[in-house]
Chains A and B, each alone.
Chain A
Amino acid sequence: MERKRDVVVIGGGITGTAILAALARLELSCVLVEKEPDIAAGTTKANSAILHAGFDAPTGSMKAKMNVEGNRLYHELQKDLDLDIRWTGSFVCAATEEEEKQIEQLLERGKANGVPGMEIWDGDKVREKEPNLSSSIRAALWAPTAGICWPFGMAVAFAENAVENGAEILRECEVTGVRVESGKGFVVETTQGEIHARYVVNAAGVFADKVAAMAGDTSFSIHPRKGEYILFDKTAQDKLVKGIVFPAPTKTTKGILVCATTHGNTFIGPNAQDQDSREDTAVTTPGMDEIIAGAKKLVPELPMGAAITQFAGIRAVSDTNDFIVGESKSVKGLYHAAGIQSPGLTSAPAIARLLAEEIAKAAGVKEKADVRKGRPEQPVFRELSADEQAALINKDARYGRVICRCETITEGEIVDAIKRPCGARTVDGVKRRTRAGMGRCQGGFCGPRVIEILARELNIPVPKVRKDGADSYMYEEKLGGGRK
């Protein structure tokens, strides 16, 4: 099938979806293509889920500018898009005299970057707020504008808002080539046919250099850097932390942190392992040992028995070590959002706004008259009062049937997640939209029920239901029959 659009956005992570949402507000027809069965399937689904204050990146860098602006924008967008964010503030801890000097430097850098409200606290004051922190911590840099968030939910929110404003999202649509047709724009070759476009936005994450090269731009390269994490059950939070706690940073990373999630869990990680593979997200024993040892420097008594899962994500590090944002120097009409490692999540709305402004200017278009700021309402059963719950069940009995016991997720919420714009198609897609299967039993009880609901709502045979990736079928076959 051949399509013709003003803009093609390649990549459905937090960056691509935020850009799509910003572009969809303009008088432009937009389509986003994502190679995986769902959006937010790469770095967005496995990272530290932190909205950084903005004191880490060197002053004047794209990272610093986008971080501080992105943080400010999330404060604005949170209400309209119903984003799951808690502004907890963050600590960077110092355990030695040298580290104390380091956090002083971070404070100065933060001020230069325009980060508001930062202070140095002494160890006792830090432990008043986070009592489980090590007694060896002498001081910490406190940044009140940092927050924790639900990255997958935010990417979904951007995607839903974009669809509300008329954008299109094609999943399992892998880009296989980009032809530049001089004077006429681009032909993006995909596994779902060719798309003609005036502008192409490259938000392809760890594959951004490959996509750039398809269009003839070989000016940068991306280097995968893996980070591993261990997630703890909600019951362990009183033994860990309530907010974000970093150690003093190293040259390459902000270090192994201990951090709460918006849902009341806590994680430790990540480490930083350079690797050749752009897809290898295997968790390793040395990696887990490393993050446990690292986290113990902050919280000496880790409740390891309450660990519920481990995972790894891959950072897309550019060879400039900074974000590459803006129009390609060699290919007119091709816009990059590349090398988006940390603080990429925080920067996404700022990057989106910057590129949308550039593309609006190039195309000579302005904002549509009837822009929608929000997205369809999404009831979350467990967060409602008893009266609201009763009213919801009265309206739709499926909200009275709990499918996921650990997280109290109802059938109504799961069906809604599937039926929404850019809805869930996989077991993990349901999990990341609703939290079904994300609790302590890790889908042991609700997995088969979720599979059944997916098959019913998507009208596909049960053995066609997948976990996450293209071939990640949950069941081998029906008893006495094949997958069909």
Chain B
Amino acid sequence: MSEMYDVIIVGGGPAGLTAALAAQQNGAKKILVLERDREPGGILQQCVHNGFGLHHFKEELTGPGYAQRCYDLVKDLPEVEIFVDTMVLEVRKDKTVCAINPKRGVMELQGKSIILTMGCRERTRGAIRIPGTRPAGVYTAGAAQRMVNMEGYIPGKKIVILGSGDIGLIMARRMSLEGCKVQAVLEICPFSNGLTRNIVQCLNDYDIPLHLSHTIVAIHGKDRVTGITAAKVDDKMRPIPGTEFEIDCDTVLLSVGLIPENELSNGLGLAMHPLTSGPIVDQRRETSEPGIFAAGNVVHVHDLVDFVSDEAEIAGKFAAKAALGEGGKADRDFAVTTGDNIRTCVPQHLRLGAEAEKVRLFMRVTQPMRGKLKLKVMSGGEEVFTKPLMIAKPSEMIAVDLPEAKIGALSAELVVSLEEGK
């Protein structure tokens, strides 16, 4: 016999907790959050640095502080239950959720709506095929962050970091603060893939060299890492022979990208987007399967947790409405497609009904641009929305709200592009 919920949320990180709050605020009476770790909060638990919450909570918080804030907002709500130490094994199209935990054993739970908020995982050494031996001491930056900040152990003393993603930059500073020597950060792209503030605060302030257009061409060491060979890469990102140099280290940390964790979404057979690696969603964050919503890094990897929360509020609200039968009817479906210089845009389509709806778009650009830039949203040859920008980087998400009035009057697909000014 399965228990019935209005909304079941898979994942108790910032997205899941915020979605639970939004669902409660929009009338859902029975909400369940399933979290696989020992505590709610998700990956923020290990992000002990500050810089979170400036947009969403209008104050600067640490990662655990942000997670606590999200948790505090739902923990005493009678409508919200949270199961920790709980692994979801399967989500079915009929919105049953199979999960296990040590206390309750095997559970079959029935939701009226489901929200997927599983977050993302890190790309590994294998995915980028770094040659060399396979000793201990090669970790993803996030795994090392957990080791240091949660388990209380130092993975190594002399560090090389591959990739200038934000976690790698944060870990460069974190390891330095623990008395380790960060020898270098290598980045295969000709530009950094982290937030500018992190380059400044985590590398420049600690005199850690950043080698752009460089990669690791071999990892050395039999039992434990003893060093790496680095090399410069050409414009096709292939190592240039003759540019190799050795760096002595006992640890290699990888910060080479994040991948939405969509095993459950794939199991469900949701329509997925090849570039975001997440489910295709509409403006309510409803997936291709009616009643199944998704938000946060599982849809597309965000740069700021604040945006994750914003998106989870949308999903939570509409999941609650769907559960209560207040979803309304959509009679028009328009694609949102990417034009010049925009790599990805979420949502990928709009399902519109009689009621006016706010639409928030999240976008990432294809390459760094600066100058007089113009973000343009076109529909049927007409400008729906424009916004001037000074700078755009692939590492930073662009978020814009489209005016409700314009959305109500739409009659053709939206095309989003970024133009360089004249």
Q: Is there an interface contact between B127 and A307, defined as CB atoms closer than 8 Å?
A: yes
Instruction: Kindly identify, within residues 256 to 301 of chain A, every residue whose CB is under 8 Å from any CB belonging to chain B.
Output: 279-285, 287-288
* Contact residue among B103, B135, B178, B224 (Cβ-Cβ distance under 8 Å from A400): B103
Check A442 against B151 for contact (C-beta < 8 Å). Answer: no
Contact for B155 among A386, A466, A476, CB less than 8 A: A476
What is the bound-complex CA distance between A402 and B36, given in angstroms? 8
Report A397-435 residues with CB < 8 Å from chain B CB. Answer: 397-398, 400-402, 405-406, 408
Instruction: Check A282 against B151 for contact (C-beta < 8 Å).
Output: no
Q: Mark B73-116, 1 if CB is under 8 A from A, else 0.
A: 00000000000010101000000001011111110100000000
- B148 x A479 contact (CB < 8 A): yes
Considering the chains assembled together, what is the distance between the CA atoms of A291 and B122 in angstroms? 26
A474 touches B136 (CB 8 A): yes
B220 CB contacts on chain A under 8 angstroms: 282
Residues of A with C-beta under 8 A to B129: 230, 283, 288, 307, 310
CB distance from A465 to the nearest CB of B (A): 10
Assess whether A441 is in contact with B126, with CB atoms less than 8 Å apart: no
Chain B 163-181, CB-CB to A under 8 Å as 1, else 0, gives 0000000000000001000
- In contact, A386 and B98 (Cβ under 8 angstroms): yes
Check A401/B153 contact, CB under 8 A, given A282-B132, A473-B224: no
Report whether B153 and A475 are in contact in the complex, using a CB–CB cutoff of 8 Å: yes
A309–B126 contact, CB under 8 A? yes
Contacting chain A: which of B139-147, B182-190, B294-302, B413-421? B139-147
Verify A405–B87 contact, CB threshold 8 A: yes
B51 part of interface (Cβ distance < 8 Å):
no
Q: Which of B100, B134, B156, B250 sits near A281, CB closer than 8 Å?
A: B134
Q: Is the CB of B152 within 8 A of A479?
A: yes
B50 within 8 A of A: no
In the complex, A191→B133 CA distance in Å? 26
Which of A26-34, A318-326, A387-395 sits within the interface? A387-395
B330 interfacial by beta-carbon distance below 8 Å:
no
- Chain B residues closer than 8 Å to A283, beta-carbon distance: 129, 131-134
Q: How far is the CA of A203 from the CA of B127 in the complex (A)?
A: 35
Complex alpha-carbon distance, A408 and B127, angstroms: 21
Residue B217 is within 8 A (CB to CB) of chain A in the complex: yes
Contacts of B147 in A (CB 8 A): 448, 475
Are A285 and B131 within 8 A (Cβ)? Answer: yes
Q: Does A244 contact B (CB under 8 A)?
A: no
Please name all residues of chain B whose beta carbon is closer than 8 Å to the beta carbon of A315 when the two chains form the complex. Answer: none
Which chain A positions have C-beta within 8 A of B157?
A: 476
A349 interface residue per 8 A CB criterion? no
Neighbour of B136 across the interface among A281, A311, A440, A466, CB < 8 A: A466
Q: Is B121 in contact with chain A by the CB < 8 A criterion? A: yes
B26 interface contact, C-beta 8 A: no
Residues of A436-450 contacting chain B, CB below 8 A? 440-445, 447-448
* In the complex, chain A residues whose CB is within 8 Å of the CB of B135: 467, 469, 472
Q: Are B152 and A285 in contact (CB under 8 A)?
A: no
Contact of A80 with B by CB under 8 A: no
Give residues 452-479 of A contacting B (CB, 8 Å): 452, 462-463, 466-479
B131–A390 touching, CB < 8 Å: no
Contact B218 A282 (CB under 8 A): yes
With an 8 A cutoff between CB atoms, is B243 at the interface? no
B126's partner among A308, A398, A463, A472 (CB-CB below 8 A) is A308
- Per the bound structure, the CA–CA distance linking A168 and B102 in Å amounts to 35
Q: How far is the CA of A394 from the CA of B220 in the complex (A)?
A: 46
- Nearest Cβ in chain B — how far from A430, in angstroms? 14
Instruction: Name B131's contact: one of A284, A400, A466 (CB within 8 Å).
Output: A284
Number of chain A residues close to chain B: CB under 8 A: 57
Q: Bound state CA distance, A145 and B85, in angstroms?
A: 44
Which residues of the partner chain A approach B124 to less than 8 Å between Cβ atoms?
308-309, 440-442, 444
Q: A235 at interface (Cβ–Cβ under 8 A)?
A: yes
Decide: A469 near B222, CB < 8 A? Known: A282-B131, A308-B124. yes
Q: B34: shortest Cβ distance to chain A, in Å?
A: 12
Alpha-carbon gap, A123 to B49, bound state (A): 59
Residues of B within 8 A of A284 (CB): 131, 218
The docked-state distance in angstroms from the alpha carbon of A401 to that of B85 is 7
A50 at the interface (CB under 8 A from B): no
The answer to whether B100 touches A444 (Cβ under 8 A) is: no
Q: In the bound complex, do residue A447 and residue B139 qualify as a contact, i.e. CB atoms below 8 Å apart? A: yes
Q: Does B240 contact A (CB under 8 A)?
A: no
Task: Give Cα A8–Cα B143 distance, bound, in whole angstroms.
Answer: 42
B156, chain A: closest CB distance, angstroms: 5
Closest CB in chain B relative to A91 CB, distance in Å: 27
Q: Return the contact of B153 from the options A235, A285, A463 (Cβ within 8 A).
A: A463
A231 within 8 A of B: yes
> Which of B87, B126, B142 is close to A310, meaning CB atoms less than 8 Å apart?
B126
Cα of A473 to Cα of B106 in the assembled complex, Å: 36
CA distance A390 to B101 in the complex (A): 10
B218 to chain A minimum Cβ distance, whole angstroms, is 7
Q: Are A445 and B121 in contact (CB under 8 A)?
A: yes
Q: Which residue of A lies closest to B134 (CB)?
A: A311
**Complex contact B146–A448 (CB within 8 A):** yes
Does B223 belong to the interface (CB within 8 Å)?
Answer: yes
Residues of A within 8 A of B140 (CB): 444
- Least Cβ–Cβ distance between A45 and chain B, in angstroms: 11
- Tell me, in angstroms, the Cα distance from A237 to B328 when the chains sit together: 41
B155 contacts A475, CB within 8 Å? yes
Kindly state whether residue B367 has any CB partner on chain A within 8 Å. Answer: no
Contact in complex: A447, B143 (CB < 8 Å) = yes
5 A/B residue pairs, CB under 8 Å, sorted by A: A283-B132, A310-B131, A393-B105, A448-B147, A475-B153
Residues of A within 8 A of B (CB): 230-231, 235, 279-285, 287-288, 305, 307-311, 386, 389-390, 393-394, 397-398, 400-402, 405-406, 408, 440-445, 447-448, 451-452, 462-463, 466-479
Known: A284-B218, A472-B136, A472-B223; 15 extra A-B contacts, CB below 8 A, are A231-B126, A307-B127, A310-B126, A400-B106, A401-B87, A402-B100, A405-B36, A408-B89, A440-B124, A444-B140, A444-B142, A473-B224, A475-B155, A476-B154, A479-B153
